[in-house]
Structure 1
Amino acid sequence: MNKHMVALLQLLLPLVCEGLHPPKQKCNETLMLKKLPECEKSFEDTMMLINPNQWCNLTEFIMYYYIFSKCTENKAMDVGCFWPNSLADGFITGIHRQFFSNCTSDKITWEDPPDEILTTLILIPIFLTAAMISLVVWCSKRADVFG
């Protein structure tokens, strides 16, 4: 192949490859901000089904929050915006302020695990250590096989 053909291929290859990908849509932030309240309304309606005293209990609302998160992601992607982005983050922060502002705790309470788990966590390293010591002693006596 001559060098002019190679140069022509180098010029045409990006154009051909660009045609294989769908054109990138520019982010329409105005439309995104109009669509995000749909997610907020849906999340608010489902959170109202939960007792407000349980709003800080993650297991009570995690599925609703997941649906809300996917909704905001889909709305942003539908209008060509990346997710998360600063506008969506501000929107999500507003939801957090509305529902989860009282969920912080200044005091961390540490609890011991149940006795069965604690005993298991203590005994496993002891048995593993004893097994490894036994294996080393056995292998050192069997120098004829391993040496």
Structure 2
Amino acid sequence: MALGFTGARQQTELCNESLMLEKLPICGKFFEEMMKKVDSKKWCNLTEFIMYYDNFTQCTEREANNASCFWPNPLAEGFITGIHKQFFSNCTSEKVHWEDPPDEILITLILIPVMLTCAMITLVVWCSKRSDILV
């Protein structure tokens, strides 16, 4: 590694993509072994396997750097995406179906601010007329 004019580190070696692609499956195998410890019904709950996933991402980053490659890079991202498809393809988020509340509740929610606004206007007008009488 050499220092550039701005002091930033520049990569002087070329990325050895074949070495990186050879080493990344080791990270995937380790992650797969760790995920066997987690009940497959809990694979969509990140808190159940966050440490394993953190180790997996650190491993992919380390192997990319060992091959003089930046991380993330398109090849590493492709590998990580494959792991995601293998373990998390059934974890699609369900779309929330929003519904209006029942009419009684909706009318109440609309009328309360309207009534409070009317009451405040009335109070302000009444107080301002009263101050005119007192002066």
TM-score > 0.5, shorter chain as reference: yes
Structure 2 residue 76 is the aligned partner of structure 1 residue 88: yes
Q: Match for 2:16 among 2, 18, 28? A: 28
How far apart are residue 63 of structure 1 and its match? 0.8
RMSD, aligned CA: 2.2
Residue matched to 1:58: 46
Deviations 1:26-73 (A, max 9, x none): 100000000000000000000000000000001001111010000000
Residue matched to 1:76: 64
- Mapped to 1, the partners of 2:57 and 2:97 lie a distance apart of 30
Identify unmatched segments of 5+ residues in structure 2: 99-135
- Mapped to 1, the partners of 2:49 and 2:93 lie a distance apart of 19
Structure 1 length as normaliser, TM-score?
Answer: 0.58
The answer on whether the counterparts of 1:25 and 1:79 sit within 8 Å (CA) in structure 2 is no
In the alignment of these two chains, the number of paired residues is 93
Structure 2 length as normaliser, TM-score?
Answer: 0.63
Identity across matched positions, percent: 59
Residue matched to 1:103: 91
Q: Match for 1:40 among 20, 25, 28? A: 28
Amino acid in the other structure paired with 1:60: E
Amino acid in the other structure paired with 2:53: Y
| Structure 2 SS opposite 1:92 | helix
- Mapped to 2, the partners of 1:26 and 1:73 lie a distance apart of 16
- Mapped to 2, the partners of 1:73 and 1:109 lie a distance apart of 39
Moved beyond 6 Å, runs of 4+: none
